[in-house]
Homo-oligomer: A and B are copies of this chain.
Amino acid sequence: MAVKIELDVKKKQLTVSEPESVSSLVNGYYGYMKKGTIHLFSEEALYLLDIRNASCNDTSLNTYRFNAVAALFPQKKQMARYFAYKDWRDRGLIARQTSEICECYGRNNAKKYPPGELKLDKYALQGRFYADDLWSIIDDEPVGKELYERYWLGQFGSYKAEQRGKLSKLDAYETLFLVRHAGMHLENAKEADVIRAARKQHKDFLHLYSVYEDWRLHGYVLKTGFKFGTHFRLYMPGASPVREGNEWIHSKHVIHCFPRSSKMLISEWARAIRVAHSVKKTFLLAIPGEAKKKKITGKKKETDNFRTTLDFLLYHRQHGGIENPKTGKPKYLMLSLSEEEYIGGEELAEAIAQCKRIGLELILAICDRETSVTYYAVKRVEVPGSKEEYYEIEWEQP
């Protein structure tokens, strides 16, 4: 029998009191019970109307369809939220309101990456900077060759054909790194000129450089991620471009930077992850830049730790069944987004910080224009010795 929803337009309440409907909703973990009546949140009522053939009437027995109910409960990003809720429910999984959070669940541990350190010998490095192109070139063959073979700094010869040519080509990140950490002298530019030229092309250059420098100083090798649609590709400490036998070393990670101060269209963001995914690389996100200082007003209550701006509390699967609020703990916090929306680095960093406090993993639910939802889980990563945090973004099929 279809569920009958009662709408109190004045009180803005959606309730179900008919006993058979009540017990079916309790079993499905919809709403909350108060004196034998189920109180529904608006997404739950919309879902029952859309999918479960429910009816909705007010006290004068006027019928309300989907749009009429939605119009009574307006909120920001109402449909992105609703479609993400619907999709999770359609998978047979449970989603609840975040107002129910009252503890730290301890389900959000960082993954540790291997430690490393860069030990750079002293060289007399001399190059020419091409400001318009953001390359510098060392035309001293032995020096360029050694830089490349020992540290994989620059591209000696040609890409995948080092024996072809005798120049060493350094990109802007490598150039600035060698100027700062190896005293490289450029015949036509100082450090400030390199920075000025690079920022002119790419206003976030220094943010990207800070990420490059952090990983490099911890022994990792970073090269352009152009072929994989990201800012950098990454090799573990100790990686070398000198091939043993004829094997070319393959990177397993790519890094993309999303500065706190920047905004990005969700579809562009998803595209970067998609390319990495299509070439089977782990997508690492860096969010460089300073956090905005928040005003602290009044006394902080303990429950403030569990406040969140996120959308839903998600229960997932467990061996042979699904997690539910009665016998288990939630796994994720969901941020629902739509394809055509912009997200700020600051906003994403704040969502990640909230999830860390609450001890749940963040999952981004991105709803495309056809209301198909794609999920990305955000896992924290620690690089030993680094003060920065990084994030693996994994495509999830819940």
Contacts and interface: CB of A to CB of B under 8 A. Distances in A.
A139 B78 contact: no
A317 interface: no
A50 B166 contact: yes
Contacts of A369: 135, 171-173, 223-224, 226
Contacts of A268: 268
Given A78-B132, A201-B340, A223 B169 contact: no
A48 to B, nearest CB: 11
Contact of A65 (B80, B139, B278, B374): B139
Interface string A170-201: 01110000000000000110000000000001
Contacts of A161: 90
B338 A50 contact: no
Contacts of A370: 155, 159, 169, 171, 223-224, 226
A306 to B, nearest CB: 27
A79 interface: yes
A90 B70 CA distance: 63
A130 B155 CA distance: 52
Contact of A275 (B83, B137, B271): B271
A172 B340 contact: yes
Given A128-B70, A340-B202, A371-B155, A77 B133 contact: yes
A51 interface: yes
Contacts of A267: 226, 229
B164 A226 contact: no
A207 interface: no
A208 B384 CA distance: 46
Interface string A57-80: 000000001110011000011111
A217 interface: no
A155 B372 CA distance: 10
A78 B171 CA distance: 14
Contact of A338 (B134, B159, B173): B134
Give the number of copies in the complex. Answer: 2
A169 B368 contact: no
Given A79-B133, A134-B340, A165-B51, A226 B275 contact: no
Main secondary structure of the interface of A (DSSP, over half): mixed
A227 B368 contact: yes
A53 to B, nearest CB: 8
B274 A169 contact: no
A309 interface: no
Contacts of A166: 50
A158 interface: yes
A329 to B, nearest CB: 29
A167 interface: yes
A341 interface: yes
Contacts of A169: 79, 83, 370-371
Given A133-B77, A226-B368, A139 B67 contact: yes
Given A164-B90, A229-B271, A369-B171, A71 B133 contact: no
Nearest to A271: B229
A323 interface: no
A160 interface: yes
A155 B187 CA distance: 61
Interface string A240-265: 00000000000000000000000001
Interface of A: 50-51, 65-67, 70-71, 76-80, 83, 86, 90, 127-128, 130, 132-135, 137, 139, 155, 158-161, 164-167, 169, 171-173, 187-188, 201-202, 223-224, 226-227, 229, 265, 267-268, 270-272, 274-275, 278-279, 338-342, 368-372, 374
10 contacts: A66-B139, A77-B132, A78-B133, A79-B137, A134-B338, A169-B370, A201-B340, A201-B342, A224-B369, A227-B374
